[in-house]
Structure 1
Amino acid sequence: MNKIKQVMDKLLEIICVVVFSSMVISTTYQVVVRYVFNSPSAYSETITKYLFVWLILYSAAYVFGKREHISIGVLKNKLKGKNQQVVEILIEFIIIIFAVVVMVYGGFNVASMNMLQYDSILGIPTGFAYSCIPISGILIIFYSVYNLSTLLKKN
């Protein structure tokens, strides 16, 4: 499972770098054509919006994998030993439930409902843009299961 996590980490790193670089290029293009040529591009603006959403969700999954996400550790930090481990396990289960219900199930429903609606600028199904929600949900579930297995091995 360690090897799979390392591959997932590397893959997400590459995806995030490519998406961010694409955003920079698209935004730079938008600024140049808007202010130099006085002819704004609707394509680059729309692409940048989609890329920004993808960057946020895939980066969130990556941060969950690194266990560097924002958490309120007031209760967890006051506990020691077994009690702290129980709270950490409970937190991972809550994350899994959220990811399954909201991100995977809800995200899949939203993405599939929007596959018949096309973006007016790009001409692609808007469900394509929403597809990153269930994908990042699956990645977060994988990382939470990995974290759970790590926590349970501490016994």
Structure 2
Amino acid sequence: MNKSELIFNKVSRILEIFMIIIFALLVLDVLFQVFSRYLLGESFTWTEEFARFALIWMTILGAAYLNGKQEHLSMDFLYDKFSDVNKQKASILIEVLIFLFALIVMVVGGLNLVYTTLILEQLSGTLRIPLGYVYAILPFSGFLIMCFSVYHISNILKNKINN
């Protein structure tokens, strides 16, 4: 196993653990909300907001994770008809487009969103945390997707050279 595979596997494992923790907190939060509403007769408003933020983080990190594992949604009926050489070219093009999307929309746009909300000192309604911290997951996940795309392109090129 080379160094890039080792780093890829470690990053993927850390993402898995982090998403499991977020999911566990989300489940506990919802269970606490149900418990407090029906057994205590009191509803805590912060639980809904925490659940929303946890779901946002889990979804965006999940997109990065699935991109890394190349298990994201795709329609490959046309791709399957390509020759091996054209499959490699199409795979590189797809990874470049994913890289550019992650760079422009997620990293640049995400950093702009984080910066704007932090400068404007926008706070979440109930938890009163700066929304820039919540939105920071967007450029972080975009950066991960970019790294995964570079990793995939290098693997495609490596396989092309070995064949």
Q: Which moved more, 1:6-15 or 1:71-80?
A: 71-80
Question: How far is 1:118 from its partner?
Answer: 1.0
Gaps of 5+ in 2: none
Query: Aligned to 1:144, which of 133, 144, 149?
Result: 149
| Structure-2 residue corresponding to 1:103 | 106
1:131 paired to 2:131: no
Number of corresponding residues: 155
Question: How far is 1:144 from its partner?
Answer: 0.7
TM-score between the two structures when normalised by the length of structure 1: 0.97
**Which amino acid letter does the alignment assign opposite residue 101 of structure 1?**
I
Tell me the percent identity. Answer: 35
**Which amino acid letter does the alignment assign opposite residue 46 of structure 1?**
E
Gaps of 5+ in 1: none
| Structure-2 residue corresponding to 1:32 | 35
Q: Secondary structure at the match of 1:74?
A: coil
Deviations 1:8-57 (A, max 9, x none): 01100000000000000000001111111121111111111100000001
Partner Cα separation in structure 1 for residue 100 and residue 78 of structure 2: 20
Partner Cα separation in structure 2 for residue 78 and residue 132 of structure 1: 37
Partner Cα separation in structure 2 for residue 72 and residue 90 of structure 1: 15
TM-score between the two structures when normalised by the length of structure 2: 0.93
Say what the alpha-carbon RMSD is for the aligned residues. 0.8
1:14 paired to 2:17: yes
Runs in 1 of length 4+ with deviation above 6 angstroms?
none
